[in-house]
Amino acid sequence: MYDLVIRGGKIIDGSGSPWYYSDIGIVGDQIVHIGKIKTSEARQTIDANGLTVTPGFIDMHCHSDLFIMETPYLAAKIRQGITTDLLGQDGISAAPLSHAFLQHWQGNLSGLDGTPAIEWDWTDVDSYLTKIEKAKPSYNMAYLVPHGNLRMMVIGLDDREATDEEIEQMKLLLREGLDQGGCGLSSGLIYLPCMYAHYKEIEGLCEVAAEYGVPFIVHQRSEGDEILESMDELIDITRRTGVHLHFSHFKVCGRLNWPKTAAVLAKLDAARAEGLEVTFDQYPYTAGSTMLSAILPGWAHEGGTPKLLERLARPEDKARMASEIRTGLKGWDSIYAWAGPEGIFVTSTGSEANRNLVGKSLKEIAELKGIEDPIEAAFSLILEERNAVGMIDFVMDEPSISAIMSHPAGTICTDGLLGGEPHPRAYGSFPKVLGHYTRDENVFTLEECIRRMTSQPARIIGFSDRGLIRQGMKADLVLFNEHTVKDTATYEKPRSYPEGIQYVIVNGQPVLENGTEHHVPAGEVLRRTYR
């Protein structure tokens, strides 16, 4: 007797192979049979006639790290068909955590991961993952060990090169985090304190990642003006260490840089032709999203949020920042210069005092505040909100997005920031790729699209029992109407669920059934094991 049978669906198994019709039999959390099944053999049956059945989608870059403890059923993710979130991104996340830097770190994360009302009572990767388990999420969570947390634990938030001894301490902490269930190493080389890391430090940590056979997932130093040089740094580290390099939210930013897209993809191809393992993830939108303080140069962040706020209160420091924001700085990308004040919009604030500014551009905010310079208006807002401000920045173009998406080394992500009025990618990335880019624009076949969302990410992060519809695999599944599936979230109304996603099954349990949410603790924390 099967616990659940999915009858008569069009199966796209995640491998990239052509579709076929079949029934699927599930017992507990496993797929145990693929083929014809008698009606009498099922406790529950889902009629999949007219629907496409695929493995559950894996979000390769997200920011649910804190929200999942407060809201274990994140409908924004589940209603897209996402059955696994990969946490710990950009080198700055929840664990390991030094409580000596707790307030600094909460401020540092607030623009990315929000400020949910949770108790920060963990210290290491194990206790953080245990806290997620106790929250009983409705879908799966996996975790990358973040470089910035390791650096903070050893060096603090200072702008200086790590000593050999300090690098060894960071390597030890990375080993501990991986042994406690981490499935990779992440870094964000534009974010405090990862931005202060020199080549030798990154190389040392990548040696450990290579030793464990896990990926190095990285927001590179430049995604625009110096993107080719930035790629060279990381590809060289990959060449020297043998680590699997995975570029986060791969893109080319800034109008003057869009013509570099062909050279960027050629560099990726050349590395892969050498035999290097290089992959990436991508979200399908022309705007990015991060914390507003990312428009500030790196030196302004040294010492964390308290020191940043002190600098924003000093006229001489503000004048220097404003000059560098306008003209740029070697080794640092000015998001403001790329997008302009009319192309940067506030998405969230930590307090109610400035909540009326959410959804407005820096140009509009300057006008509302009676401030002549939009950069000064941004300084004022970051200072008032103590750095808890999120933004959307329009810095990309459609031809580059399509060109990058067509590359076979890609996977899909939301990079979803969930607070305030979020970027629509938090609600629509996967359906937009299914509907617009696959069905409407024919960037790739539906079978290839599903491979990018399922088996390819599962392979990268080392989960051999997920990402494919095969006997013995975990029963993470999505059923959707391939003819109607589409995103509905917009920049004006981002909290809008997609259409066409009918069923989502996590570890054999339906968590979405014909639009009805089942708030059951179906998810697991997917801890890697290495011994």
* Cβ–Cβ < 8 Å for 77, 62: yes
What three-state secondary structure class fits 294? helix
What confidence category does residue 453 fall into, taking pLDDT thresholds of 50, 70 and 90? very high
The predicted structure's pLDDT at residue 361? 97
Tokens of 255: 């109008």
Q: How far is CA 238 from CA 184, 241, 370, in A?
A: 14, 5, 50
Distance, CA of 219 to CA of 196 (rounded, Å): 14
Q: How many CB atoms lie within 10 A of CB 160?
A: 12
Name the percent of the chain in helix, strand, coil, to the closest 5.
40, 20, 40
Mean local confidence (pLDDT), 223-241: 98
Distance, CA of 384 to CA of 390 (rounded, Å): 13
Tens digit of each residue's pLDDT (9 = 90 or more) over 82-92: 999 999 999 99
Distance, CA of 34 to CA of 477 (rounded, Å): 13
Distance, CA of 397 to CA of 252 (rounded, Å): 8
The predicted structure's pLDDT at residue 109? 87
What confidence category does residue 330 fall into, taking pLDDT thresholds of 50, 70 and 90? confident
The predicted structure's pLDDT at residue 104? 81
Which distant-in-sequence residues (6+ apart) come within 8 Å of 435 by Cβ? 485, 486, 487, 500
Which distant-in-sequence residues (6+ apart) come within 8 Å of 105 by Cβ? 97, 98, 152, 304
The predicted structure's pLDDT at residue 329? 86
Q: What is the domain class of 57-286+398-416 according to CATH?
A: alpha beta
Our CA dihedral for 5, 8, 14, 17, rounded to 10 degrees, sits at: 140
What three-state secondary structure class fits 443? coil
Where are the chain's structural domains?
A: 57-286+398-416, 291-394
Distance, CA of 117 to CA of 119 (rounded, Å): 7
Which distant-in-sequence residues (6+ apart) come within 8 Å of 314 by Cβ? none
* Cβ–Cβ < 8 Å for 417, 488: no
Distance, CA of 393 to CA of 249 (rounded, Å): 14
Tens digit of each residue's pLDDT (9 = 90 or more) over 393-431: 999 999 999 999 999 999 999 999 998 889 999 999 999
Task: Characterize the bridge pairing of strands 389-394 and 344-349.
Answer: antiparallel
The predicted structure's pLDDT at residue 135? 98
The predicted structure's pLDDT at residue 420? 84
